[in-house]
Structure 1
Amino acid sequence: MCEKHDPLAAIIAAAMPQVAGPVASPSPRPAEQPKQVIKPVINNVMSVLGGQEAQASRRRRLWELGHACHCPLVGVGFPLGVLRKLVDKVTNGKVVADDYEVHVGAVTECASRNRLSEALQKELERRYAPVLLRFRNAKSTEQVAEMWRTAVNNGDVAGAFWAGLTHPRCTSELEEQMCRDLHMVQHQAGACVRADITKFNATLEENKRLTHDLNKSQQRAAALMAEKTADAEKHAAQLMQLRAQVVGKDSMIDSVRVELEQLKLSIPGLESRAKLADRLGQMEERERAMRNQIAELKLELARAAEAPVAAPPPQEAARQVVEHVMKMPLRLSDRAVLCVGGRNGNVASYRELIEREGAQFAHHDGGLEDNANRLEASLAAADLVICQTGCISHSAYWRVKDYCKRTGKRCVFIDNPSISSLARGLEQAGAE
């Protein structure tokens, strides 16, 4: 191996330049002198090797990276606003250059250690500290490359690019591959940005159209709201007017009531007069009913006088009359029938006529012999009331009529106490 390609010779030359020449072309010296020289040489070689090992175990700084890495690193690692603030802070002023000039100046300063490169180094360490911690677990170049590929696939390359380039296990080949990958990612990002800009412009146009439509809709809604508000106000005014009219009418009604009460009080005995007039009308109706009954009795008496026939026994005559009567038109089965008034001699015939239809028969003479106080209880227990108006007291007649009218109970009024009149009355009541 030639001298200039021997790494050990290069290390020895760097460690002890004064003996580099003799190592390449040794000359004869006393035997004891090489022993005294070799020991310091070995110590210098070990210190150089230790320095290189320490260099290989720590992360590289920004100015220690290759110049080809600075441009993509500054471009992807710093937003333009952050980069401009850092430059302003370092220069103690406000940079008036455009974005491209600021970028080119920062890339140029990254080649050496200076205030700007140190500020950029510090910002990168702070901004991407979580990614640096994650990359610290990589123990080999292949693991660093795998973590970089994962970041590229996930689209999160800024922090991974910085952590991968400065990793102690990052080789020159991996550094070049990372720069290539980032270059293609930036191309794809540019294409995506252009597509997004196209979509954004289309979205702006659509938003403009929708905003125009929204303004029209809001105008129509405002017009409708104004119309509805006007209608509501009109209806509210009408409602208040109607309420005022109602209050006025209520006041008028109260005034008329007060006036009516005053008029009633001004006429003495008005209430008793009204009751007497009502009672007079009832008595006139009662009188007409009795006149009709008397006329019917006179007619039957005249017929009996014209055709004298041997009268059968009373019980036989009653049975014949009952059998002669047509079938009961009302459904009386399992019903309680109360007969008020009538002739006592015909009660048995009444009972036979009613009970033949399956009804329960009850009789009250209307206060002649029976207790008048029991009439109310008998009326309450009956399903159907038969009032013999020709043979009943006035008091019982009015009590029966008032009770049936008040309770809505069915009542059949019979003018003639005969069996045939009872049958006809029930027949007419059933036909109604």
Structure 2
Amino acid sequence: MPLSKKNEPGFPFHVAGGILGGSRKTFVAGLGAEMDEAPLAPPPLLRASGSRRRKLWEIPHKFHCPVIGVCFGCDELRSLMAKVMHFPRDTSDFTLHTTAVGACEERTRLAELLHKTLEKRYQLTLKQFAALKTNHELQTAWQRSLSDGSQVPAVLWALWTHPACDARLEQEVYGDIHMLQHQLGSGTRADLRAMQALQGEHAELRRQLQQLQVAAEQLRQEQAMQQQGLRQQLGEVQAEAAARESWGLGLQRELAALHAELPDLKERRELAQQLDFAREQLAQLRARNDEQAAELARLRDYASFAEESLAALSRHEEMPVPALPPADLGGKCVLCVGGRSGAVHSYREVVEQSGGRFMHHDGGLEESLHRIDSALAAADIVICQAGCISHNAYWRVKDLCKRSGKPCMFVKSGGVSSFGKVVDAAGRVGQEA
């Protein structure tokens, strides 16, 4: 018997409560096969007694449609139904769905197969729900599943078959599933519109891709032409390099011939380099000789001046000193440059007993020579102990005194008596002035 179309009268389809357009057996025969059924069970119960979970054919018939639609995909349902019945390959998904829903109203082979499949698939969730004992706990678990959006099929099956689920909770879950299907349908329409927009975008991207492919092909051709030109230039450069290499080989041969004609050329070059180095060293030695000659002349002048100073000091010490009263410095500042480090205190007493102020500088032994400038600027009389200071300090004191016009007296030895004589002489000169 050929399969009737959906819009033809007499086409059976299942709704909650029965089959419209013919009996179920007539419809199954119309699919081209006989469905073996187990003996009909007693009418379905609205509640399972005791703590036993309900079977698929024991829950209210209006719940079979959501269970089949939510828990089984179309391809899976088609594969399961093919194990217990025969139907044409072009049978629509809707026809198979309504057939499966109708078969679950009673205990049939298909109902048992679907029941076993659900039990095996959701056994973990069923174990979790076995710990729930009250209707409130079931409702809380269902609301949590809806809010999370996870394991809705498993929770739906475990809840509707649970012995503690009452009619009110059944109806509430049925309403939630009904609205969820509406929302999924709305989401499907939105996805369809989004898919259409994506198709338009895909077409535009394909057009842009074609344009880019054309541009890329043009660029490839241009690059091929450039590469061809570069290869040509490379060939020219290689030819030029080969010519230069040949020319270089010719020069090397000529150089080898020159070396053969002049065997001592290398020695001459080394001698020329040695001569240049010797001339450079000679120039450096001459410069150093000039510097040493200038230093020698300066030292000779210094030695001559020192001899003259020592001779004058010797004559001054040999002169008889008349017995005169101590001289008065009148508060003048006396700067002593050099001298013995242990006699500095005695120098100070001599100056202060003569009515003067005492300053001292060690002549560059430990103190900086730059301090002589400031000390000499503050002094009225300078006494330089020539035998106890450095050469640089001696010339510095002499030059500063000459430029500033301050009296400078030189002492040959660092004794206190010699220092006292010079201080006395300086005081008397000041008194006469």
TM-score for both structures, normalised by structure 2: 0.48
